[in-house]
Amino acid sequence: MSTSENQGEIDIVVLFNKIQSTFLELIVFFFKWVKYLTKQWKAFLFLIFFGAILGFFNDNQNNSEKEASVLLKVNFDAVNYVYDAVSLINQKIEANDLVFFNEIGFSTEELNVFELTISPIVNLQEIINKETFKGNEIRTLFENLNFEDNLSMTNSFISSYKYHTLTCSFSPEADNQTLDNIIDYLNTNPLFTELKLRKMSSLSDRIKSNENAINQIDAIILKYTNDISNPSNVDSQLYVDNKDIRPNDLIKTKIELTKEVEALKEEKIYSNNTVVVVNNSNLMIESSSIKNNKIVYYPLLLCFIFILIQILKNTYSWLDELESKQR
């Protein structure tokens, strides 16, 4: 066996022994800390007891709030009205106006609504589709907006957005009916009841008109198909109102009308009220983390702080001793 091979084996043995020694040192270090902390069992017992009592009283004073986040579609250009209504509700909350809330369906003696916030789902395509721009006005408009401040961009076109998020903060006694009462209140404006009827009538008329046009196209295409399949018919051209029409154009028109009918039917579903709930959100506890369970959280926090203090204390003593040896 060569000298280099012997040296390699020796290096491996030395490395293995070094790893083993380091591992044993870590075990001993951990054991010393466990032994040290075990001796502090009285301190831990006191901290756990004190923290549990503190958490118990804190939980009784601060019950977990409930929160619901709902996606809304606002119809009939009523965005500003809805935002004003939400602002009014928040003002009534601050004033603790129980008479107002009883009038809109809340029957509880104590107010169980803490705060409402509403914000739009920003969609630039909705702005471009709704607003009328000419030439380079779009570019000029967006250059003048402060995109670093998203709030500026949002507020500039808040009435152009269709979808909005309503976030509600409730007391622990609130239930899904509490949220329903708020949505019902937003839909009680008589003005929008009339607008709803007109909108639904208009949508129905447009759907009926498009469906009639589709039926007429089908009849024309069927007649054309029968004509070209007849050998005796020399003229296979398609004429509508004495105009030469290509069958492909009619088929494209039919496809477009069919898509529009589907879109109108979907719009009719979502135009049933001024404010339509797109997603149903059940009331949820604001947070289910251990921080909300104060009876458990406070003892753990106090024990962690105690251990941290002991680590810092022992580290300081070790560094002080090391400094003394180097003098």
Domain co-membership, 277 together with 165: yes
Cβ(192)–Cβ(76) below 8 Å: yes
Domain co-membership, 184 together with 100: yes
Domain co-membership, 282 together with 298: no
Domain co-membership, 80 together with 186: yes
Length of the chain: 327
Rounded distance, CA 303 to CA 45, Å? 9
C-alpha closest to that of 302 among 63, 40, 60:
40
pTM exceeds 0.75, yes or no: no
Residue 234: its pLDDT value, please?
Answer: 46
Alpha-carbon dihedral sign for residues 34, 37, 38, 44: negative
Domain co-membership, 201 together with 259: yes
Rounded distance, CA 167 to CA 86, Å? 11
Domain co-membership, 126 together with 215: no
Domain co-membership, 150 together with 279: yes
Domain co-membership, 281 together with 301: no
Rounded distance, CA 327 to CA 323, Å? 7
pLDDT tens by residue, the chain, 327 residues: 555 555 556 667 777 777 777 778 778 778 877 787 788 788 888 888 888 888 777 766 555 677 888 899 888 888 888 899 899 999 988 888 888 888 887 776 667 778 899 998 877 666 666 555 554 545 555 555 554 445 445 566 777 788 899 988 887 777 788 888 888 888 887 777 777 888 888 889 999 999 998 998 888 888 777 766 665 554 555 555 555 567 777 888 889 999 999 999 988 887 888 888 888 666 555 555 556 677 788 888 888 888 888 888 877 777 777 667 666
Beta strands in 133-273 (DSSP E): 163-170, 239-240, 243-244
DSSP 27-72: HHHHHHHHHHHHTTHHHHHHHHHHHHHHHHHHHHHSPPPEEEEEEE
What are the tokens at 164? Answer: 């909005």
* Domain containing residue 169: CATH number: 3.30.70
Residue 148: its pLDDT value, please?
Answer: 45
Helices 3-38 and 294-326 pack at an angle, to 10 degrees, of 120
Rounded distance, CA 137 to CA 130, Å? 14
Rounded distance, CA 84 to CA 99, Å? 19
Total number of domains in the chain:
3
Q: Give the domain range for residue 215.
A: 196-269
Residue 161 contacts by C-beta under 8 Å, 6 or more apart in sequence? 79, 120, 121, 122, 123, 126, 127
Domain co-membership, 73 together with 216: no
Residue 310: its pLDDT value, please?
Answer: 82
pLDDT, tens only, 33-78: 778 778 878 888 888 888 888 877 776 655 567 788 889 988 888 8
Domain co-membership, 76 together with 183: yes
Find where tokens 């398609």 sit: 238
Domain co-membership, 176 together with 285: yes
Domain co-membership, 94 together with 179: yes
